[in-house]
């Protein structure tokens, strides 16, 4: 591990000095009580509003004593990562849809308008209510036609983490889901100072496309609250606070959600609160499809701690099937990576260009093996610097001298490689000189390469004080719990207030602090 870490540091040109800069956290001292009472109750007991980062809440109006929500099913453009905006279906401008928060005992009306080009029906997941409002299309209600409206009515007598989603399966895969919080009549004990909801989803977006392929079983964009790392907004926590996180999974995969630096208790499921005697400890909790897992912990360990799905492929962005050799071994054919990219991503080809085409053989989708077709070498990831310069000189050599005014020597090449590419700062690559002879190279420099530094592109108050270059290492289902000492916490909160963003998901915190 140490070797890998130091390799990465040197591979990415990160000197040891960088780790020492701008440290928001004091060195741990013996006085630090990491084993503090995990039950501590920090103050008065009330229902803390739930924060859904990067999404926010659906507002309501009152009609007498009825809480009225207007939910509009519609096509949504969602930026899931820097320079990556996709066309999905969601609600009221976002996908996932905004979180709905009500209280046990409330009388709730949800007016659904369908602005989609096909019928839909919304299921209220986990609700023990009237069959007429369950949203089973063609079973408990007529599907809501394009331009149509349906009014759902609920008498809330449960409490916990519930969901709403289209009960048309492919629409759900297109983004039509959201969280529905029922706050308890009797607040849960011990009191939590922060309460977060995290929606878990996957999308399969073919290269150069903006529309997710809802048929695909291989996902290359793994998102929490509709964003992939490093675009996710961290969970901002003051050191010592008791924190609840409600994971909600309405996707195709199960996700082992892991947090660093803390031990949590699993305190609730999609069926509501677990009695305290049945809580179980962990640092990873498997959130299965259609499940919620609520975890609670006292954030007593200061630092920027990762919270992420632990499936390695879910900590990556924009995966596509490899084509060609799996190493750069010169003069060797290397290991075949599999079928070509289109086939690997599930696009069936052949003669006559159909699944049953006669030259379409069996495949496991992302194929590997002797029957695979090697189309071309993998070219992602930086080459070793000498080879990089050599190859670029070769490329430039093909140009006529002076054409386009381009003429560069090795020194200028090196400078060009260290240039700032619109926020994606590429630092001098520092790969072992013999990297191309090492089987399986590249591995992590493949995805965590210097090209991936997007600190500037995802700059926001919640990221203030993170270690420079952090964005290279946060992809897919990855964000932070930032456990900030009080003075640092106040600094970050002040910046969040100053930003004065409309519909800020953190509004309930900013108005309290
Ligand atoms: Cu996962």
DSSP track, 407-443? ---HHHHHHHHT-EETTEEPPPP---TTGGGSTT--S
Q: What angle do CA 446, 376, 439 make, to 5 degrees?
A: 50
pLDDT tens string 176-195 = 999 999 999 999 999 999 99
Lowest average pLDDT, out of 33-37, 82-86, 106-110, 269-273, goes to 33-37
Return the DSSP state at 51. Answer: B
Q: How far is the CA of 310 from the centre of ligand 1 (A)?
A: 6
Q: What is the pTM of this model?
A: 0.78
Contacts of residue 276, Cβ cutoff 8 Å, sequence gap at least 6: 267
Return the DSSP state at 369. Answer: S
For the chain, domains (ranges, CATH) are: 60-318+502-512 (2.60.40.420)
Contacts of residue 496, Cβ cutoff 8 Å, sequence gap at least 6: 236, 461, 462, 504, 506, 510
Farthest CA pair distance, the chain: 79
Q: How far is the CA of 479 from the centre of ligand 1 (A)?
A: 13
Q: Is the pLDDT of residue 378 over 70?
A: no
Alpha-carbon span 454 to 206, nearest angstrom: 22
Contacts of residue 262, Cβ cutoff 8 Å, sequence gap at least 6: 283, 297, 298, 299, 300, 301, 305, 481
From residue 447, how far is each of 128, 312, 442 by CA, in Å?
A: 46, 12, 9
**DSSP string for residues in 171-191:** HHHTT-EEEEEEE-SS--SSP
pLDDT tens string 207-249 = 678 899 888 888 889 999 999 999 999 999 999 999 999 999 9
Q: Is the pLDDT of residue 399 over 70?
A: no
Q: How far is the CA of 231 from the centre of ligand 1 (A)?
A: 17
Q: Is the pLDDT of residue 36 over 80?
A: no
Contacts of residue 341, Cβ cutoff 8 Å, sequence gap at least 6: 207, 320, 321, 323, 375
With H, G, I as helix, E, B as strand and everything else as coil, classify residue 447: helix
Q: How far is the CA of 224 from the centre of ligand 1 (A)?
A: 10
Alpha-carbon span 124 to 154, nearest angstrom: 10
Q: The tokens 């750069």 sit on which residue?
A: 328
Q: How far is the CA of 250 from the centre of ligand 1 (A)?
A: 12
Q: How far is the CA of 489 from the centre of ligand 1 (A)?
A: 30
Q: Give residues whose Cβ lies within 5 Å of ion ligand 1.
A: 255, 309, 311, 314
């Amino acid at each position: 591990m140490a070797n890998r870490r130091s390799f990465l540091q040197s591979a990415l040109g990160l000197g040891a000095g960088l780790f020492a800069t701008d440290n928001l956290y004091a060195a741990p001292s013996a006085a630090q009580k990491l084993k503090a009472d995990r039950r501590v109750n920090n103050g008065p007991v009330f229902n803390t509003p739930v924060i859904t980062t990067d999404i926010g809440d659906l507002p309501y109006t009152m009609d007498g004593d009825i809480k009225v929500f207007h939910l509009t099913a519609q096509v949504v453009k969602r930026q899931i990562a820097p320079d990556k905006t996709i066309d999905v279906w969601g609600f009221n401008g976002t996908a996932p849809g905004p979180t709905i928060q009500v209280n046990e005992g409330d009388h709730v009306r949800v007016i659904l308008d369908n602005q989609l080009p096909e019928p839909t029906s919304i299921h209220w997941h986990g609700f023990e209510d009237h069959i007429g409002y369950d949203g089973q299309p063609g079973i408990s209600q007529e599907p809501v036609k394009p331009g149509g409206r349906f009014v759902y009515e609920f008498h809330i007598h449960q409490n916990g983490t519930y969901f709403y989603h289209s009960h048309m399966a492919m629409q759900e895969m297109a983004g039509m889901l959201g969280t529905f919080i029922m706050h308890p009549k009797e607040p849960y004990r011990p009191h939590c100072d922060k309460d977060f909801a995290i929606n878990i989803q996957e999308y399969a977006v073919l290269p150069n496309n903006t529309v997710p392929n809802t048929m695909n079983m291989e996902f290359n964009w793994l998102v929490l609250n509709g964003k992939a790392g490093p675009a996710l907004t961290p969970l901002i926590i003051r050191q010592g606070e008791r924190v609840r996180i409600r994971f909600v999974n309405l996707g195709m995969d199960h996700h082992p959600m892991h947090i660093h630096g803390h031990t949590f208790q699993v305190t609730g499921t999609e069926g509501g609160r677990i009695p305290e005697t049945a809580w179980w400890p962990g640092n990873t909790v498997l959130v299965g499809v259609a499940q919620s897992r609520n975890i609670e912990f006292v954030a007593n360990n200061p630092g920027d701690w990762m919270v992420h799905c632990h499936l390695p492929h879910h900590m990556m962005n924009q995966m596509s099937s490899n084509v060609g050799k799996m190493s750069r071994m010169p003069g060797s054919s290397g290991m075949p990576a599999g079928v070509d990219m289109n086939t690997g991503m599930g696009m069936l080809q052949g003669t006559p260009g159909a699944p049953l085409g006669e030259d379409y053989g069996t495949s496991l989708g992302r194929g590997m093996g002797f029957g695979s077709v090697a189309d071309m070498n993998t070219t992602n990831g930086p080459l070793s610097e000498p080879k990089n310069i050599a190859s670029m000189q070769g490329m430039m050599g093909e140009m006529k001298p002076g054409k386009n005014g381009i003429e560069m020597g090795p020194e200028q090449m090196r400078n060009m490689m260290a240039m700032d590419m619109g926020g994606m700062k590429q630092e001098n690559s520092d790969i072992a000189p013999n990297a191309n002879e090492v089987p399986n190279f590249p591995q992590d420099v493949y995805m965590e390469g210097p090209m991936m530094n997007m600190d500037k592109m995802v700059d926001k108050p919640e990221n203030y004080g993170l270690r420079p270059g952090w964005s290279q290492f946060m992809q897919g289902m990855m964000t932070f719990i930032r456990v900030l000492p009080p003075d640092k916490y106040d600094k970050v909160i002040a910046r969040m207030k100053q930003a004065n963003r409309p519909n800020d998901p953190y509004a309930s915190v900013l108005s309290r602090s």
